[in-house]
């Protein structure tokens, strides 16, 4: 029954693997960047910032408004006359005003001639918001790229662990078979044969666990990429890191997080300028053209029942006293500017620490990888000698079993070391940041 369940599980697992599309790491990153909702949200934030910039620029352009009203006087307004004045109208003291129908059309044009720097500051602040949104989008893409690299590396590690588990199970099964033959022939003790059987029994659940880890890793990779994919590469060592000074220089020049915060600082500086400009005058030029008409019969007025008027005005508005609102706005803008500068300084220090930590982690991972590779070579030679000794009758199945266990352990450690070097490389790339040219 257990064997039947294992066979069914293996068939289902093989079918799921066959439905996956093999992709390289770069292809997985492209899929992740194209499907991640966080990237799409960052793109929408850029569009919103660009719309805010267009809104700020619109203050420099003239505005044109058209207003129209077509009214029917159901009950006309009344003007009351003094009694002595009403005597001139035959004693009437109430006079209805207007006609039954009225039409009014007004066309107004306005343009700001001078705003004491308000428009320029608002446009510059909005431009800083656009820059900040674009750099944040690059930062989000860097993080999604990091997640894709981590998920891809986890899937590669899971495949290496499964391959090691399958190989270890096959080698242990062979050792158990030889131990069983030795017990039957009297050349191997029953204890050694029992130990080989127990070792074989312990390897079977490890294989199941390795398959489950692979399934989970593939699910995570598919979730990040937005498609049913599987890695087409194999675990390989990460390259050695560049000199630390070069990494720090690249980070300071191209980190999207730092550049976004620098853009925020620039926008806050313009907000201070905008608040200060609130104390200056505003000069505005306006022009009006209006048509008025009143009549009693027909849908439209006659020629002598309508009149047109036009006007041009130059208006100057100078704030004298606003209850301290401008001073409060200026103090708030200065405080936000100082906060943005402190945030930029904090982020710079954090980025420097992250780059140093990631570079050291990569160096440590590569050193551990070199040791793991030597351990595998030693374990392979030990296993070869154990097999030779057993074939020549001077070794024991137990000796071969121990050598096979050590070889399986060293292979697992090598796979973990390769995986750790790739993770450290991805973390270093995230800490340094990209310029956005390849995003």
pLDDT digits (tens, 9 = 90+) for 52-82: 999 999 999 999 999 999 998 888 887 777 7
CA dist 365 and 358 (Å) reads 10
pLDDT band with cut points at 50, 70 and 90 for residue 202: confident
Q: Are residues 55 and 106 in the same domain?
A: no
CA dist 303 and 296 (Å) reads 13
- The DSSP H or E segment spanning 10 is helix 2-18
**Which single residue is written with the structure tokens 């990779």?**
221
Q: Are residues 216 and 312 in the same domain?
A: no
Span 385-392, average pLDDT? 84
Residue 309 has a pLDDT of: 95
Q: What is the pLDDT of residues 305-351, one digit of tens each?
A: 899 999 999 999 999 988 899 899 999 999 999 999 999 999 999 99
Residue 148 in any domain: the answer is yes
Q: Are residues 361 and 426 in the same domain?
A: yes
408 Cβ contact list (under 8 Å, min separation 6) = 164, 167, 168, 171
Q: Is residue 141 exposed (0-12), middle (13-18) or buried (19+ Cβ within 10 Å)?
A: buried
pLDDT surpasses 50 at 399: yes
Residue 101 in any domain: the answer is yes
Span 399-416, average pLDDT? 89
pTM of the model: 0.82
Residue 48 in any domain: the answer is yes
CA dist 432 and 343 (Å) reads 18
pLDDT surpasses 70 at 432: yes
Residue 268 in any domain: the answer is yes
- For 358-391, b where at least 16 C-beta lie within 10 A, e where not — what string? bbebbeebbebbeebbebbeebeebbeebbeebe
Q: Are residues 271 and 375 in the same domain?
A: yes
CA dist 392 and 13 (Å) reads 41
CA dist 157 and 215 (Å) reads 12
Residue 162 in any domain: the answer is yes
CATH code of the domain covering residue 47:
1.20.1600.10
Residue 89 in any domain: the answer is no
Q: Are residues 105 and 225 in the same domain?
A: no
Q: Are residues 427 and 312 in the same domain?
A: no
Residue 85 in any domain: the answer is no
Q: Are residues 272 and 335 in the same domain?
A: yes
Identify the residue with better confidence: 352 or 9. 352
* Residue 17 token pair: 């693997």
CATH code of the domain covering residue 301:
2.20.200
Domain around 300: 64-80+96-114+282-317
Contact call for residues 372 and 417 (beta carbons, < 8 A) = yes
**Angle at CA 109, nearest 5°, toward 104 and 114?**
150
Q: Are residues 377 and 419 in the same domain?
A: yes
Residue 296 has a pLDDT of: 87
Q: Are residues 341 and 358 in the same domain?
A: yes
Residue 438 has a pLDDT of: 47
| Distance from the Cα of residue 229 to its chain's centroid | 21
Domains: count for the chain? 2
Mean pLDDT of the chain: 89
């Amino acid at each position: 029954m257990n064997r039947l369940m294992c066979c069914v599980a293996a068939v289902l697992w093989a079918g799921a693997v066959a439905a996956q599309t093999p992709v390289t790491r770069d292809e997985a990153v492209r899929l992740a960047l194209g499907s991640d909702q966080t990237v799409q949200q960052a793109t929408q934030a850029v569009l919103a910032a660009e719309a805010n910039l267009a809104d700020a620029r619109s203050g420099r352009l003239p505005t044109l408004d058209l207003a129209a009203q077509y009214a029917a006087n159901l009950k006309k307004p009344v003007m009351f006359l003094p009694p002595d004045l009403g005597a001139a109208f035959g004693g009437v003291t109430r006079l209805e005003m207007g006609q039954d129908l009225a039409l009014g059309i007004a066309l107004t044009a306005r343009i700001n001639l001078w705003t004491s720097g308000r428009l320029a500051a608002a446009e510059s602040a909005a431009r800083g918001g656009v820059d900040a949104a674009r750099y944040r989008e690059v930062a989000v893409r860097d993080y999604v790229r990091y997640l894709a690299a981590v998920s891809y590396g986890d899937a590669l590690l899971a495949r290496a662990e499964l391959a090691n588990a399958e190989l270890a199970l096959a080698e242990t099964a062979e050792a158990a078979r030889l131990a069983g033959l030795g017990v039957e022939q009297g050349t191997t003790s029953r204890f050694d044969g029992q130990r080989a059987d127990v070792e074989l029994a312990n390897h079977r659940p490890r294989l199941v666990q390795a398959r489950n880890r692979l399934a989970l890793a593939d699910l995570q990779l598919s979730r990040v990429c937005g498609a049913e994919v599987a890695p087409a590469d194999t675990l390989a060592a990460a390259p050695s890191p560049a000199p630390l000074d070069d990494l720090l220089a690249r980070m300071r020049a191209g980190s999207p997080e730092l550049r976004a915060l620098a853009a925020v600082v620039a926008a806050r500086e313009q907000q201070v300028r905008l608040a200060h400009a609130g104390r200056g005058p505003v000069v505005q030029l306006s022009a009006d053209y209006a048509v008025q008409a009143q009549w009693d019969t027909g849908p439209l007025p006659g020629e002598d029942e309508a009149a047109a008027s036009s006007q041009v005005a130059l208006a100057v508005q100078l704030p004298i006293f606003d209850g301290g609102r401008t001073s409060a706005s200026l103090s708030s803008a200065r405080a936000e500017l100082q906060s943005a500068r402190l945030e930029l300084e904090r982020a710079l220090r954090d980025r420097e620490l992250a780059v140093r930590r990631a570079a050291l982690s990569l160096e440590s991972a590569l050193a551990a990888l070199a040791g793991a590779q030597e351990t595998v070579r030693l374990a392979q030679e030990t296993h070869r000698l154990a097999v030779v000794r057993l074939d020549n009758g001077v070794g024991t199945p137990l000796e071969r079993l121990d050598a096979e266990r050590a070889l399986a352990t060293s292979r697992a450690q090598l796979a973990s070391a390769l995986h750790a070097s790739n993770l450290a490389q991805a973390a270093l790339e995230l800490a340094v940041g990209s310029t956005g040219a390849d995003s």
